[in-house]
Amino acid sequence: IAVCSLSVLRVAILLSFLVHLCEKAREMPSHQTYGGSWKFLTFIDLVIQAVFFGICVLTDLSSLLTRGSGNQEQERQLKKLISLRDWMLAVLAFPVGVFVVAVFWIIYAYDREMIYPKLLDNFIPGWLNHGMHTTVLPFILIEMRTSHHQYPSRSSGLAAICTFSVGYILWVCWVHHVTGMWVYPFLEHIGPGARIIFFGSTTILMNFLYLLGEVLNNYIWDTQRSK
Protein backbone atom coordinates (compact mmCIF):
# COMPACT_ATOMS: atom_id res chain seq x y z
CA ILE A 1 0.00 0.00 0.00
CA ALA A 2 2.85 2.38 0.87
CA VAL A 3 4.53 1.73 -2.49
CA CYS A 4 1.24 2.31 -4.31
CA SER A 5 0.66 5.57 -2.39
CA LEU A 6 4.17 6.77 -3.29
CA SER A 7 3.54 5.99 -6.97
CA VAL A 8 0.25 7.93 -6.90
CA LEU A 9 2.01 10.86 -5.21
CA ARG A 10 4.69 10.88 -7.91
CA VAL A 11 2.04 10.89 -10.63
CA ALA A 12 0.29 13.83 -8.92
CA ILE A 13 3.58 15.76 -8.65
CA LEU A 14 4.39 15.05 -12.30
CA LEU A 15 0.96 16.29 -13.38
CA SER A 16 1.38 19.47 -11.34
CA PHE A 17 4.71 20.23 -13.08
CA LEU A 18 3.15 19.55 -16.48
CA VAL A 19 0.34 21.98 -15.66
CA HIS A 20 2.89 24.60 -14.59
CA LEU A 21 4.83 24.10 -17.83
CA CYS A 22 1.68 24.49 -19.92
CA GLU A 23 0.73 27.66 -18.05
CA LYS A 24 4.29 29.00 -18.26
CA ALA A 25 4.18 28.54 -22.03
CA ARG A 26 1.38 31.12 -22.29
CA GLU A 27 2.22 34.12 -24.42
CA MET A 28 4.23 36.67 -22.45
CA PRO A 29 6.29 39.52 -23.93
CA SER A 30 9.59 38.29 -22.47
CA HIS A 31 8.99 34.78 -23.81
CA GLN A 32 8.63 36.03 -27.39
CA THR A 33 12.18 37.42 -27.46
CA TYR A 34 15.41 35.61 -28.32
CA GLY A 35 15.77 32.34 -26.40
CA GLY A 36 12.11 32.23 -25.42
CA SER A 37 11.33 30.53 -22.12
CA TRP A 38 14.62 28.60 -22.29
CA LYS A 39 16.62 31.62 -21.17
CA PHE A 40 15.03 31.47 -17.70
CA LEU A 41 16.47 29.06 -15.14
CA THR A 42 13.00 28.72 -13.58
CA PHE A 43 11.63 27.26 -16.83
CA ILE A 44 14.65 24.97 -17.23
CA ASP A 45 14.14 23.80 -13.65
CA LEU A 46 10.47 23.04 -14.32
CA VAL A 47 11.54 20.90 -17.27
CA ILE A 48 14.17 19.15 -15.11
CA GLN A 49 11.60 18.42 -12.37
CA ALA A 50 9.01 17.18 -14.88
CA VAL A 51 11.56 14.89 -16.56
CA PHE A 52 12.81 13.64 -13.19
CA PHE A 53 9.36 12.79 -11.84
CA GLY A 54 8.45 11.33 -15.24
CA ILE A 55 11.40 8.95 -14.84
CA CYS A 56 10.22 8.18 -11.27
CA VAL A 57 6.76 7.26 -12.57
CA LEU A 58 8.28 5.18 -15.39
CA THR A 59 10.52 3.41 -12.86
CA ASP A 60 7.51 2.59 -10.67
CA LEU A 61 5.60 1.24 -13.66
CA SER A 62 8.58 -0.83 -14.83
CA SER A 63 9.10 -2.17 -11.31
CA LEU A 64 5.45 -3.22 -11.16
CA LEU A 65 5.65 -4.99 -14.53
CA THR A 66 8.99 -6.63 -13.75
CA ARG A 67 8.09 -7.88 -10.26
CA GLY A 68 8.09 -11.68 -10.17
CA SER A 69 8.69 -12.06 -13.91
CA GLY A 70 12.22 -13.45 -13.55
CA ASN A 71 13.19 -11.78 -16.85
CA GLN A 72 16.84 -10.77 -16.49
CA GLU A 73 16.76 -8.33 -19.42
CA GLN A 74 13.81 -6.47 -17.90
CA GLU A 75 15.63 -6.35 -14.57
CA ARG A 76 18.73 -4.88 -16.27
CA GLN A 77 16.60 -2.21 -17.93
CA LEU A 78 14.95 -1.43 -14.58
CA LYS A 79 18.37 -1.01 -12.94
CA LYS A 80 19.36 1.43 -15.71
CA LEU A 81 16.17 3.42 -15.10
CA ILE A 82 16.84 3.52 -11.35
CA SER A 83 20.43 4.67 -11.99
CA LEU A 84 19.16 7.43 -14.29
CA ARG A 85 16.55 8.47 -11.70
CA ASP A 86 19.19 8.64 -8.95
CA TRP A 87 21.61 10.60 -11.16
CA MET A 88 18.90 13.10 -12.11
CA LEU A 89 18.02 13.74 -8.47
CA ALA A 90 21.64 14.10 -7.36
CA VAL A 91 23.00 16.25 -10.17
CA LEU A 92 20.02 18.29 -11.38
CA ALA A 93 16.69 17.98 -9.56
CA PHE A 94 17.94 18.68 -6.03
CA PRO A 95 20.69 21.31 -6.54
CA VAL A 96 18.95 23.25 -9.33
CA GLY A 97 15.55 23.04 -7.62
CA VAL A 98 16.85 24.27 -4.26
CA PHE A 99 18.94 26.97 -5.99
CA VAL A 100 15.92 28.37 -7.87
CA VAL A 101 13.76 28.48 -4.72
CA ALA A 102 16.45 29.95 -2.43
CA VAL A 103 17.90 32.56 -4.80
CA PHE A 104 14.51 33.69 -6.11
CA TRP A 105 13.00 34.35 -2.69
CA ILE A 106 16.16 35.95 -1.27
CA ILE A 107 16.33 38.46 -4.14
CA TYR A 108 12.54 38.87 -4.12
CA ALA A 109 12.61 39.76 -0.41
CA TYR A 110 15.38 42.30 -1.00
CA ASP A 111 13.79 43.95 -4.07
CA ARG A 112 11.28 42.06 -6.19
CA GLU A 113 11.79 44.42 -9.15
CA MET A 114 15.29 43.01 -9.54
CA ILE A 115 14.05 39.50 -10.36
CA TYR A 116 10.24 39.43 -10.60
CA PRO A 117 8.85 42.86 -11.55
CA LYS A 118 5.33 43.63 -10.38
CA LEU A 119 4.31 43.84 -14.04
CA LEU A 120 4.50 40.02 -14.16
CA ASP A 121 1.54 39.80 -11.80
CA ASN A 122 -0.61 40.67 -14.82
CA PHE A 123 0.59 37.54 -16.61
CA ILE A 124 1.45 35.03 -13.89
CA PRO A 125 -1.13 34.21 -11.17
CA GLY A 126 0.10 33.74 -7.60
CA TRP A 127 -0.48 29.98 -7.61
CA LEU A 128 1.74 29.58 -10.67
CA ASN A 129 4.47 31.71 -9.13
CA HIS A 130 4.51 29.44 -6.06
CA GLY A 131 4.37 26.39 -8.31
CA MET A 132 7.54 27.57 -10.02
CA HIS A 133 9.41 29.00 -7.05
CA THR A 134 8.10 27.34 -3.86
CA THR A 135 6.57 23.86 -4.14
CA VAL A 136 9.61 22.51 -6.01
CA LEU A 137 11.46 22.33 -2.68
CA PRO A 138 8.94 20.27 -0.63
CA PHE A 139 8.32 17.96 -3.61
CA ILE A 140 11.99 17.12 -4.00
CA LEU A 141 12.45 16.72 -0.23
CA ILE A 142 9.48 14.32 -0.10
CA GLU A 143 11.06 12.29 -2.91
CA MET A 144 14.41 12.19 -1.11
CA ARG A 145 12.74 11.18 2.15
CA THR A 146 10.59 8.40 0.71
CA SER A 147 13.08 6.69 -1.65
CA HIS A 148 16.75 5.88 -1.30
CA HIS A 149 18.86 7.34 -4.11
CA GLN A 150 22.38 6.19 -4.93
CA TYR A 151 24.61 9.23 -5.53
CA PRO A 152 27.33 9.06 -8.21
CA SER A 153 30.99 9.46 -7.24
CA ARG A 154 31.56 12.91 -5.80
CA SER A 155 34.04 13.93 -8.50
CA SER A 156 31.71 13.01 -11.38
CA GLY A 157 28.71 14.58 -9.63
CA LEU A 158 30.52 17.87 -9.02
CA ALA A 159 31.87 17.86 -12.58
CA ALA A 160 28.31 17.44 -13.92
CA ILE A 161 26.80 20.25 -11.83
CA CYS A 162 29.74 22.53 -12.72
CA THR A 163 29.17 21.80 -16.40
CA PHE A 164 25.48 22.65 -16.05
CA SER A 165 26.21 25.88 -14.12
CA VAL A 166 28.90 27.15 -16.49
CA GLY A 167 26.78 26.15 -19.49
CA TYR A 168 23.82 28.19 -18.22
CA ILE A 169 26.04 31.21 -17.42
CA LEU A 170 27.49 31.12 -20.94
CA TRP A 171 23.94 30.87 -22.34
CA VAL A 172 22.86 33.95 -20.33
CA CYS A 173 25.93 35.86 -21.59
CA TRP A 174 25.19 34.80 -25.15
CA VAL A 175 21.59 36.05 -24.89
CA HIS A 176 22.98 39.39 -23.67
CA HIS A 177 25.49 39.45 -26.53
CA VAL A 178 22.72 38.91 -29.11
CA THR A 179 19.99 41.11 -27.61
CA GLY A 180 21.91 43.65 -25.51
CA MET A 181 19.60 42.81 -22.58
CA TRP A 182 20.29 40.69 -19.51
CA VAL A 183 17.85 37.88 -18.76
CA TYR A 184 17.51 39.05 -15.14
CA PRO A 185 16.95 42.80 -14.50
CA PHE A 186 19.36 43.00 -11.53
CA LEU A 187 22.31 42.16 -13.82
CA GLU A 188 21.72 45.52 -15.54
CA HIS A 189 22.43 47.35 -12.27
CA ILE A 190 25.82 45.85 -11.40
CA GLY A 191 29.21 46.29 -13.05
CA PRO A 192 31.21 43.69 -15.01
CA GLY A 193 33.36 42.81 -11.98
CA ALA A 194 30.30 42.28 -9.79
CA ARG A 195 28.76 40.09 -12.49
CA ILE A 196 31.86 37.88 -12.58
CA ILE A 197 31.73 37.58 -8.77
CA PHE A 198 28.00 36.80 -8.92
CA PHE A 199 28.42 34.13 -11.61
CA GLY A 200 31.33 32.58 -9.73
CA SER A 201 29.35 32.61 -6.49
CA THR A 202 26.36 30.91 -8.13
CA THR A 203 28.61 28.12 -9.44
CA ILE A 204 30.09 27.64 -5.96
CA LEU A 205 26.57 27.63 -4.48
CA MET A 206 25.46 24.96 -6.96
CA ASN A 207 28.41 22.79 -5.88
CA PHE A 208 27.52 23.37 -2.23
CA LEU A 209 23.89 22.37 -2.86
CA TYR A 210 25.06 19.18 -4.59
CA LEU A 211 27.12 18.30 -1.49
CA LEU A 212 24.19 19.27 0.77
CA GLY A 213 21.94 16.87 -1.13
CA GLU A 214 24.49 14.08 -0.80
CA VAL A 215 24.89 14.66 2.94
CA LEU A 216 21.11 14.91 3.46
CA ASN A 217 20.46 11.74 1.47
CA ASN A 218 23.11 9.81 3.42
CA TYR A 219 21.82 11.14 6.75
CA ILE A 220 18.21 10.15 6.00
CA TRP A 221 19.04 6.64 4.86
CA ASP A 222 21.82 5.91 7.37
CA THR A 223 19.29 6.83 10.07
CA GLN A 224 16.71 4.53 8.44
CA ARG A 225 19.18 1.62 8.41
CA SER A 226 20.18 2.17 12.05
CA LYS A 227 16.51 1.96 13.04
pLDDT digits (tens, 9 = 90+) for 46-93: 999 999 999 999 998 888 877 766 677 778 888 999 999 999 999 999
Please spell the DSSP secondary structure of 130-183, one letter per residue. HHHHTTHHHHHHHHHHHS------HHHHHHHHHHHHHHHHHHHHHHHHHHSS-S
C-alpha 187/C-alpha 190 separation (Å) is: 6
Q: How many C-beta atoms lie closer than 10 Å to residue 37's C-beta?
A: 18
pLDDT digits (tens, 9 = 90+) for 165-210: 999 999 999 999 999 989 888 888 888 999 999 999 999 999 999 9
pTM across the whole model: 0.89
Longest dimension (CA), the chain: 62
Cα–Cα nearest to 11, from 65, 66, 53: 53
> Residue 24: pLDDT band by 50, 70, 90 thresholds?
low
Predicted confidence at residue 102, as pLDDT, reads 92
Domain-wise residue ranges, the chain: 2-226
pLDDT digits (tens, 9 = 90+) for 114-148: 778 787 777 777 787 787 888 999 999 999 998 88
Predicted confidence at residue 1, as pLDDT, reads 45
Residues near 7 by Cβ (< 8 Å), separated by ≥ 6?
57, 60, 64
